[in-house]
Chains A and B, each alone.
Chain A
Amino acid sequence: MDAMVKSQLKRISTQIRKDIITAVSSAGSGHPGGSLSVADILTYLYFKEMNIDPQHPKNPDRDRLVLSKGHCTPGLYATLANRGFFPVEDLKTFRQADSYLEGHPNMDKVPGVDMSTGSLGQGISAAVGMALAGKVDRKDYRVFAILGDGELQEGEVWEAAMAAAHYNLDNLTAFVDYNGLQIDGKITDVMNPEPIADKFRSFGWNAIAINGHDFDEIEKAVEQAKSFKGKPTVIVARTVKGKGVSFMENLASWHGSAPKKEQAEQALKELDDYLAGL
């Protein structure tokens, strides 16, 4: 990847991380950990990859993204806002009763949200439906889905995986945000879903393992997914839960709790320092 492009993407994902902190701390609740871990993937998809137009969020020919791990709205909303779908300022209204920024994605209220999610396991099925519609209509839009690694414990994920392979949905690319953590602790302690890539392969998918914070690797994997014919692709992206905020990294306790005011200030300062060094 071009160095200029890469540094631009880093700048954007850092801004998105800052906005995640702002949204969650204004709300006093929400899910920073998994939002921070998926921020680079969202940045790459929305700023480099996807065929989308913030002026026409419902264009039938657009690429689609389903955040199957729907609790990570801070990440999705911060990305959509920075991409121009709605004012960044509105992130401060996240989770408020008079705001359109629902705690979990709502496709009717939030511009740019392609599917309402929140009940884990369902988003990937909806993405399969979108990819199937693309095949029926012979359209060339692509569908992306983002799963949590804990979410893989839902049986429905594997029902969807079977269906995607059965119908040769090579227009579907799923990411697994492989941060190793869920609410009650390590995924391997709670209910081990590993080996993740092998499981998808045995379900008939093309599987690629990458570092989910490395834009070169994300780009390479997405390009490979696009050129791979006949099978859906899963990109198992190793990530750090809480990435970019030192005191949140690799801690399950930051899955679903908001930073206090001073903590948010410290997080923003760390991210600003990182931005300054770019």
Chain B
Amino acid sequence: MSDKIATRVAYGQALAEIGGNENIIVLDADLSGSTKTDSFKKKYPERHFNMGIAESNMMAVAAGLASCGKTVFASTFAMFAAGRAFDQIRNSIGYPHLNVKIGATHAGITVGEDGASHQAIEDIALMRSIPGMTVVSPADAVSANALVKLAAEMYGPVYLRLGRLDVPVVYDAGTKFEIGKGITLKDGKDVTIIANGFMVHKALEAAEKLEAEGISARVIDIHTIKPIDTELIIKAASETGAIVTCEEHNVVGGLGSAVAEVLVKNRPVPVEMVGVEDKFGKSGKPAHLVEMYGLTAENIIEKTKKVLDRK
């Protein structure tokens, strides 16, 4: 539990591990040192192509490669993947449902010093609104490694949301994951905290502190925002009667919204959302920004108490 590894590092390692599959092609846009696709490039230079600082082109090139049977990983920062190249992802990859995996690193405010222009807090909202797109936001390096490999094995477009920051490892090596299936990390009966990305770790921390105050909180990692694990969410709502969502994304359109969509249609219970409160990020040390934007165990505890009052 003490190790800290960025999910982007796990992405690069996973690509290098599965790179023996000759069908895999990796594209990058002048960021292979940052997206960590350079670890694939070292082993398989003949199947790694730098497309230059031209993300829109890269996404549609990926579509063309995929139309010829390739499994393509196209990598850049989340901002320039989901943001800059939305039209290409939507029309050239999503609409024809091509086998392209978008390795979107540096998602969220934990990018840190580069500031708002590089901190995608809208990408999940954009990507999950594309029909047929699978959207994955792993909590740690163990799950990222596994989910990247699962993405490579399945057919169809996948958006992989990865972080720059070294984050705590929450899963034991060898844990089994399934795309579309959430994981209950801690049982509880009073409330359920649903998180993804590095907020899973914060949720566990909050749950532990709540326990000390006599509040029993269940913690679920919804690493796949789409297709979302409806069953697990409804069960949690039925059994605990209140939900708190936690994400490193705008509270508009992200995990909180996706969970709320499930609940309002199936099992309405009070929901509180922890996330970026509909404002842009800024420069700063990641740890400082996490405090400033309320992506903390303390805020989760506060929201949990609020949602319990509403029960």
Contact = CB atoms under 8 A, between A and B. Distances in A.
A130 to B, nearest CB: 4
A50 interface: no
Count chain A CB atoms within 10 A of each CB in B51, B61, B63, B69 and give the residue with the most. Answer: B61
A136 B87 contact: no
Interface stretch (B92-100, B148-156, B176-184): B92-100
A115 B97 CA distance: 11
Count chain A CB atoms within 10 A of each CB in B25, B47, B95 and give the residue with the most. Answer: B95
Interface in A152-177: 155-156, 159-160, 162-163, 166-167
A125 B92 contact: yes
Given A128-B64, A162-B54, 9 more contacts: A114-B67, A122-B91, A125-B63, A126-B64, A127-B64, A129-B62, A129-B64, A129-B65, A156-B60
Interface in B52-94: 52, 54, 56-70, 87-88, 91-92
B171 interface: no
22 contacts: A115-B63, A115-B64, A116-B91, A116-B96, A119-B87, A125-B57, A126-B64, A126-B67, A129-B68, A132-B64, A133-B64, A133-B65, A133-B68, A156-B56, A156-B57, A156-B60, A160-B57, A162-B52, A162-B54, A163-B51, A163-B52, A166-B52
A262 interface: no
Contacts of B58: 125
Given A133-B70, A160-B57, A126 B92 contact: yes
Contacts of B25: 133, 136
Nearest to B47: A136
Given A108-B96, A126-B67, A163 B54 contact: yes
B3 interface: no
A122 B98 CA distance: 14
Contacts of B59: 125
Contact of A132 (B54, B56, B61, B69): B61
Count chain A CB atoms within 10 A of each CB in B47, B54, B87 and give the residue with the most. Answer: B54
A2 interface: no
A134 B96 CA distance: 20
Q: Which 8 A-B residue pairings sit nearest by Cβ, starting from the closest? A: A129-B64, A125-B60, A159-B57, A133-B68, A126-B64, A159-B54, A129-B61, A129-B65
A134 B64 contact: no
A154 to B, nearest CB: 9
A155 B62 CA distance: 18
B54 A115 contact: no
Interface string A95-125: 0000000000011100000111111011101
State which size class the interface on B falls in. Answer: 20 to 34
A136 B91 CA distance: 25
A60 interface: yes
B41 to A, nearest CB: 15
Contacts of B64: 66, 115, 125-133
B193 to A, nearest CB: 40
B280 interface: no
Contact of A133 (B69, B88, B92, B95): B69
B213 interface: no
Contacts of B309: none
A159 B84 CA distance: 14
A273 interface: no
B49 A167 contact: yes
A66 B64 CA distance: 10
A156 B47 CA distance: 23
Contacts of B172: none
Nearest to A127: B64
Contact of A118 (B49, B69, B91): B91
Contacts of A156: 54, 56-57, 60, 88
Contacts of A128: 57, 60-61, 64
Interface string B17-32: 0000000010000000
Interface in B85-141: 87-88, 91-92, 95-97
A108 B95 CA distance: 9
B97 A163 contact: no
Nearest to B60: A125
Nearest to A161: B57
Count chain A CB atoms within 10 A of each CB in B49, B52, B60, B87 and give the residue with the most. Answer: B60
A121 to B, nearest CB: 8
A163 B47 CA distance: 15
A68 to B, nearest CB: 10
Nearest to A156: B56
Interface in A134-162: 134, 136-137, 155-156, 159-160, 162
A107 B67 contact: yes
Given A108-B96, A116-B95, A163-B57, A129 B52 contact: no
Given A133-B70, A134-B68, A160 B61 contact: yes
Contacts of A167: 49
Count chain B CB atoms within 10 A of each CB in A122, A132, A159, A166 and give the residue with the most. Answer: A122
A116 B95 CA distance: 8
A111 B25 CA distance: 27
